């Protein structure tokens, strides 16, 4: 620094010039470089959100640009007072999400603990575990629809060979939602396993070894040492999986069709909003439902994020 | 010198970046410009079609049409859900890349007319003597008209057929006989069902409509809901009992795709569905009943046999098309007396009376099926679903008591609740119509 200060005038002038020039160039350039990304965000995220919000305040029907009038919060009032379709859909969405994610978390953690230490054949197990993750949800839905077909499916064929009477499975009004939760568990538990396995691999070994030396048993080490240390990863995994589960659409639609089945038995908010748009062309109400759904998801995320914070404190 | 060279580099880079942005923007604008102006001679005539026997048949003849108009034809075959969704997305955006639209006159036409999505064909069909618009069957032809304008041309017609196992039973003439025989033959322990049919809330409404009419009911009477009336409730109970007691498990999840294979595999004695699908039962690759399937007219109920006779699919021209002349040439060619007779001779039930009156074309169908189709083409009801703007929601309401019946639940209370809901719906639908 002192050397710089005592430099000849020419050098000093050059130094002063260079930072100013760079800053100016950088300031101009960064907006130029950001422009495509900003345009993309504006076009693909901001505009659709604004458009949906605008539609949710209209009575648009038939076509989105039909001569529509603004009706203020009427669509939201209609949705929130609909005890026939909207609230049952909310209940099913919550039931599906909580049930599936809970089972996925427990199974995922169990599998992660089992796979934590290397064993012979672990590579094969990992490969098999990843397969459901790679399959398309619609293909999964159709596959299970065929397996579980009440009349011709292989599942009933196998069950009959052990003396169990034929089940309706996805053809049933009461069995469908639980079965779809199990299909979701089958497909997405591997994701939980991988996330939790990654989390487990970052944990220090010393606390667990110390506990072991002190005489703690397997369960005690898991309950009091491993699990508390894993909580941040666990929370993140649950948040990610919950968001995806809330938005589940493909397997529901692929197996049960419009309206989530003949008695709307698997109609979640996503399926309901889709039906309002594509089957009923009620764009105003559909947009209102989607706005409410988005707010609900944001609320769930906020709720789930607050807990680990308290835990940390 | 090194200091001097750095500054130009930074400025040059900025200019390059700006230039790239301008270039990208220019390319985007250039892309937009193809949307304007007249279509080039290379622009194909674009047909959006259902993946259906009619579409597959007409596609084989497209080369001769291309030769006639000197323009390529591009035909997309989609499932009905995909087709409906494509229309929803593209036409909401006023897309110009759809010219000919295959539509269901009873499902979408009122709504599309309300949206202004279909071109008016009145002058074209009525002003062309060689085309002979009056030759089209009356019921389907009437459904092509909305607000006194012809907006579509029927290409395929449908009536319900009672498919039955002629090796096990003879065709029942009445609905009572159908029920009695189905219940007698059902043996669920051995995976054999007396009856198989559509059972989905919305999807089953169309096939159920023939039962409704034959019991003397109707969806609406003078614009008011008819589904809470005694005749409708009887029809609901009948259909529910038929599937609940003689049908396969999981009937409420059954559409055509699930029901048809069960009959084709010889696991059911009776199946009621559209006559257009009969070839599936004669195909040895997928059917075990080629030699044992019989085709009978829809049985008579207390009000007689009142099956529907509808245009299941029609052709319209998009209001946004920039190739309207060529699109009309396609409709004219595809639904000309000659082509309809040709396709019907190939087993596709068309909409022209001249084809139905021609013994040569009828010879392509099994004899009992031809007799059934011919009779029902004359006497059938021109609707198989409510005549409303928002058909999807209407079917969901009307289908609820059906599902209750199939599940073995009391139909009356559900039907009365659906009746009230349908009444409210009709008021709203009328308001939309007037808007």
Contact call for A262 and B91, based on CB within 8 A: no
Q: What are the counts of helices (DSSP H) followed by strands (DSSP E) for chain A? A: 15, 0
* A279 contact residues in B (CB cutoff 8 A): 392-393, 396
Searching chain A, which residue's CA lies closest to the CA of residue B250? A171
Looking at residue A303, its pLDDT comes to: 82
Summarised one tens digit per residue, pLDDT across range B79-126 is 888 899 999 999 999 999 999 999 999 999 999 999 999 999 999 999
Give the tokens for residue A107.
Answer: 């199974």
The answer to whether B199 contacts chain A (CB < 8 Å) is yes
**Closest by CA position to B260, among listed B204, B196, B351, B170:** B196
The answer to whether B24 contacts chain A (CB < 8 Å) is yes
Contact call for B21 and A278, based on CB within 8 A: no
**CA–CA distance, B198 with B80 (Å, rounded to integer):** 16
The answer to whether B435 contacts chain A (CB < 8 Å) is yes
ipTM above 0.85, yes or no: no
Q: Would you call B31 helix, strand, or coil by DSSP? A: helix
- Contacting residues for B232 by C-beta, under 8 A, at least 6 apart: B212, B215, B217, B218, B226, B415
| Alpha-carbon dihedral angle through residues A117, A118, A124, A127, given to the nearest 10 degrees | 50
- Contacting residues for A258 by C-beta, under 8 A, at least 6 apart: A275, A279, B81, B202, B392
Contact call for B13 and A29, based on CB within 8 A: yes
Determine the longest span between alpha carbons in chain B, in angstroms: 104
* A35 contact residues in B (CB cutoff 8 A): 21
Strands B73-78 and B45-50, bridge-based pairing: parallel
The answer to whether A153 contacts chain B (CB < 8 Å) is no
Cβ atoms of A141 and A254 closer than 8 Å: yes
Contact call for A259 and B261, based on CB within 8 A: no
Is the pLDDT confidence value at B72 over 70?
yes
Is the pLDDT confidence value at B11 over 50?
no
Contact call for B250 and A256, based on CB within 8 A: no
Searching chain A, which residue's CA lies closest to the CA of residue B90? A63
| Number of cross-chain residue pairs from A and B with Cβ atoms under 8 Å apart | 114
Give the tokens for residue B322.
Answer: 């920039």
* B424 contact residues in A (CB cutoff 8 A): none
**Closest by CA position to B349, among listed B391, B381, B311, B389:** B311
Q: Which of A153, A262, A271, A283 to mutate to test the interface with B (most CBs of B within 10 A)?
A: A262
The pLDDT-based confidence of B38 (bands split at 50, 70, 90) is confident
Which regions of B124-266 does DSSP assign to beta strands (E)?
Answer: 145-146, 149-150, 153-158, 160-165, 193-196, 220-221, 224-225
Looking at residue B257, its pLDDT comes to: 87
The pLDDT-based confidence of B33 (bands split at 50, 70, 90) is very low
Give the tokens for residue B391.
Answer: 């058909």
How many Cβ atoms from other residues are within 10 Å of residue A248's Cβ? 23
Looking at residue B362, its pLDDT comes to: 86
Distance from CA of A103 to the nearest CA of B (A): 27
Return the ∠ at Cα B392 (arms to B389 and B395), rounded to 5°: 105
Looking at residue A272, its pLDDT comes to: 95
Instruction: Kindly state the helix (H) or strand (E) to which residue B257 belongs, with its residue range.
Output: helix B256-264
Distance from CA of B192 to the nearest CA of A (A): 10
Distance from CA of A276 to the nearest CA of B (A): 9
The answer to whether B393 contacts chain A (CB < 8 Å) is yes
Judged on CB neighbours under 10 Å (0-12, 13-18, 19+), B86 is middle
**CA–CA distance, B260 with B281 (Å, rounded to integer):** 9
Looking at residue B66, its pLDDT comes to: 94
Cβ atoms of B172 and B163 closer than 8 Å: no
Distance from CA of A86 to the nearest CA of B (A): 15
The answer to whether B191 contacts chain A (CB < 8 Å) is yes
Handedness of CA B87, B89, B94, B97 (dihedral sign): negative
Listed as ranges, residues in chain A with pLDDT below 50 are 1-8, 11, 311-313
Q: Would you call B51 helix, strand, or coil by DSSP? A: coil
- Contacting residues for B154 by C-beta, under 8 A, at least 6 apart: B105, B136, B137, B140, B141, B143, B144, B311, B313, B314, B335, B351
| Alpha-carbon B310 to chain mean position | 9
**CA–CA distance, B276 with B257 (Å, rounded to integer):** 14
Contact call for B250 and A18, based on CB within 8 A: no
Contact call for B392 and A280, based on CB within 8 A: yes
Mean pLDDT of B339-345: 93
Contact call for A152 and B390, based on CB within 8 A: no
Cβ atoms of B161 and B174 closer than 8 Å: no
Q: Where are the alpha helices (DSSP H) in A42-85?
A: 47-55, 74-80
- Contacting residues for B110 by C-beta, under 8 A, at least 6 apart: B146, B387, B388, B389, B391, B433
Contact call for B201 and A63, based on CB within 8 A: no
Q: What is the mean pLDDT of chain B?
A: 89
Distance from CA of A313 to the nearest CA of B (A): 48
Distance from CA of A256 to the nearest CA of B (A): 7
Cβ atoms of B424 and B258 closer than 8 Å: no
Give the tokens for residue A271.
Answer: 């399926």
The answer to whether A141 contacts chain B (CB < 8 Å) is no
Q: Would you call B164 helix, strand, or coil by DSSP? A: strand
Looking at residue B252, its pLDDT comes to: 93
Distance from CA of A173 to the nearest CA of B (A): 8
The answer to whether B34 contacts chain A (CB < 8 Å) is no
The answer to whether B288 contacts chain A (CB < 8 Å) is no
The answer to whether A170 contacts chain B (CB < 8 Å) is yes
**Closest by CA position to B228, among listed B28, B385, B419, B362:** B419
pLDDT more than 70, % of chain B: 91
Cβ atoms of B205 and B227 closer than 8 Å: no
Distance from CA of A238 to the nearest CA of B (A): 33
Looking at residue A15, its pLDDT comes to: 52
Distance from CA of A66 to the nearest CA of B (A): 7
CB contact residues (below 8 A), chain A span 96-135, against chain B: none
Cβ atoms of B402 and B326 closer than 8 Å: no
**Closest by CA position to B297, among listed B379, B241, B216:** B379
Summarised one tens digit per residue, pLDDT across range B224-266 is 999 999 999 999 999 999 999 999 999 999 999 889 999 999 9
* A11 contact residues in B (CB cutoff 8 A): none
Q: Long-range contacts of range B83-88, CB-CB < 8 Å, 24 or more positions apart?
A: B83/B48, B83/B49, B83/B50, B84/A278, B84/B108, B85/A278, B86/B48, B87/B48, B87/B112, B87/B117, B88/A277, B88/A278, B88/A281
**Closest by CA position to B213, among listed B300, B107, B144:** B300
How far lies A229's CA from each of A200, A210, A237, B414, in Å?
9, 14, 14, 54
Contact call for B249 and A168, based on CB within 8 A: yes
Residues composing chain B: 435
Residues composing chain A: 313
Contact call for A259 and B396, based on CB within 8 A: yes
Cβ atoms of A177 and A252 closer than 8 Å: no
Contact call for B392 and A279, based on CB within 8 A: yes
Cβ atoms of A133 and A187 closer than 8 Å: yes
Give the tokens for residue B285.
Answer: 């690759």
**CA–CA distance, B265 with B288 (Å, rounded to integer):** 5
pLDDT more than 90, % of chain B: 77
Q: Would you call B73 helix, strand, or coil by DSSP? A: strand
Mean pLDDT of B193-208: 96
Looking at residue B434, its pLDDT comes to: 82
**CA–CA distance, B153 with B136 (Å, rounded to integer):** 9
The answer to whether B390 contacts chain A (CB < 8 Å) is yes
The answer to whether A46 contacts chain B (CB < 8 Å) is no
Mean pLDDT of B321-331: 95
**CA–CA distance, B343 with A272 (Å, rounded to integer):** 40
Give the tokens for residue B325.
Answer: 């002349």
Q: Which of B24, B193, B243, B253 to mutate to test the interface with A (most CBs of A within 10 A)?
A: B253
* A66 contact residues in B (CB cutoff 8 A): 115
Nearest to B201 among A61, A168, A262 (CB): A262
């Amino acid at each position: 620094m002192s050397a710089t200060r005592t430099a000849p005038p020419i050098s000093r002038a050059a130094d002063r010039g260079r930072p100013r020039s760079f800053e100016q160039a950088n300031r101009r350039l960064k907006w130029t470089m950001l422009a495509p990304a900003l345009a993309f965000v504006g076009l693909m995220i901001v505009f659709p959100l604004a458009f949906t919000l605008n539609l949710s305040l209209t009575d648009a029907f038939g076509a989105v640009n039909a001569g529509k009038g603004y009706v203020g919060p009427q669509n939201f009032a209609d949705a929130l007072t609909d005890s026939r379709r909207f609230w049952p859909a909310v209940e099913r969405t919550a039931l599906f999400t909580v049930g599936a994610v809970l089972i996925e978390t427990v199974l995922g953690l169990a599998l992660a603990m089992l796979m934590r230490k290397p064993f012979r054949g672990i590579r094969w197990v990992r490969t098999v575990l990843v397969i459901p993750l790679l399959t398309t949800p619609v293909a999964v839905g159709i596959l299970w629809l065929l397996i579980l077909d009440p009349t011709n499916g292989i599942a009933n064929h196998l069950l009959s060979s052990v003396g169990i009477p034929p089940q309706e499975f996805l053809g049933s009004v009461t069995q469908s939602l639980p079965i779809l939760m199990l299909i979701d568990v089958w497909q997405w538990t591997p994701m939980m396993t991988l996330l939790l396995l990654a989390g487990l691999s970052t944990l220090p070994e010393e606390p667990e070894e110390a506990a072991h030396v002190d005489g703690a048993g397997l369960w005690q080490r898991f309950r009091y040492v491993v699990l508390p240390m894993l909580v941040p990863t666990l929370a993140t995994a649950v948040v990610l999986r919950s968001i995806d589960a809330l938005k589940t659409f493909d397997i529901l639609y692929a197996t049960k069709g419009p309206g989530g089945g003949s008695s709307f038995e698997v109609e979640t908010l996503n399926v309901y909003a889709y039906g309002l748009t594509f089957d009923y062309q009620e764009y105003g109400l559909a947009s209102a439902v989607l706005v409410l759904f988005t707010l609900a998801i944001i609320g769930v995320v906020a709720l789930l994020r607050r807990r680990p914070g308290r835990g940390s404190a | 010198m090194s200091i001097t060279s750095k500054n130009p580099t930074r400025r040059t880079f900025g200019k390059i970046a700006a230039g790239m942005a301008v270039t990208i923007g220019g390319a985007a604008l250039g892309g937009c410009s193809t949307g304007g102006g007249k279509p080039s001679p290379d622009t194909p005539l674009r047909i959006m079609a259902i993946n259906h026997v009619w579409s597959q048949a007409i596609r084989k003849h497209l080369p001769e049409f291309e030769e006639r108009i000197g323009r390529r034809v591009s035909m997309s075959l989609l499932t009905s859900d995909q087709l409906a969704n494509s229309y929803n997305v593209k036409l909401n955006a006023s897309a110009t890349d759809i010219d000919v639209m295959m539509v269901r006159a009873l499902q979408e036409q009122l709504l599309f007319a309300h949206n202004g999505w279909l071109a008016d064909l009145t002058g074209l069909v009525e002003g062309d003597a060689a085309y002979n618009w009056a030759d089209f069957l009356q019921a389907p032809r009437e459904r092509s008209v909305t607000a006194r304008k012809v907006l579509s041309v029927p290409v395929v017609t449908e009536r319900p057929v009672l498919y039955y196992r002629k090796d096990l039973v003879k065709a029942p003439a009445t609905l009572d006989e159908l029920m009695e025989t189905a219940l007698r033959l059902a043996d669920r322990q051995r995976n054999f069902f007396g009856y198989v049919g559509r059972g989905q809330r919305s999807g089953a409404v169309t096939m159920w409509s023939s039962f409704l009419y034959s019991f003397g009911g109707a969806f609406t009477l003078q614009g008011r809901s008819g589904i809470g009336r005694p005749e409708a409730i009887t029809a609901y109970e009948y259909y529910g009992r038929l599937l609940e007691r003689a049908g396969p498990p999981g009937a409420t999840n059954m559409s055509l795709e699930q029901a048809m294979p069960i009959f084709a595999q010889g696991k059911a004695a009776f199946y009621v569905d559209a006559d257009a699908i009969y070839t599936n039962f004669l195909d040895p690759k997928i059917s075990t009943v080629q030699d044992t399937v019989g085709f009978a007219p829809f049985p008579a109920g207390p009000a007689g046999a009142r099956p529907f006779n509808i245009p299941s699919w029609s052709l319209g021209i998009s209001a946004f098309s920039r190739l309207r002349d060529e699109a009309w040439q396609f409709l004219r060619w595809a639904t000309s007396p000659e082509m309809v007779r040709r396709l019907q001779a190939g087993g596709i039930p068309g909409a022209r009376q001249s084809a139905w009156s021609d013994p040569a074309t009828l010879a392509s169908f099994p004899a009992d099926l031809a007799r059934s189709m011919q009779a029902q083409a004359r006497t059938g009801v021109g609707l198989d679903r409510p005549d409303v703007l928002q058909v999807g929601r209407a079917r969901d309401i009307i289908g609820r008591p059906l599902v209750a019946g199939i599940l073995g639940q009391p139909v009356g209370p559900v039907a009365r609740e659906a009746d009230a809901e349908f009444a409210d719906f009709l008021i709203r639908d009328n308001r939309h119509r007037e808007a």
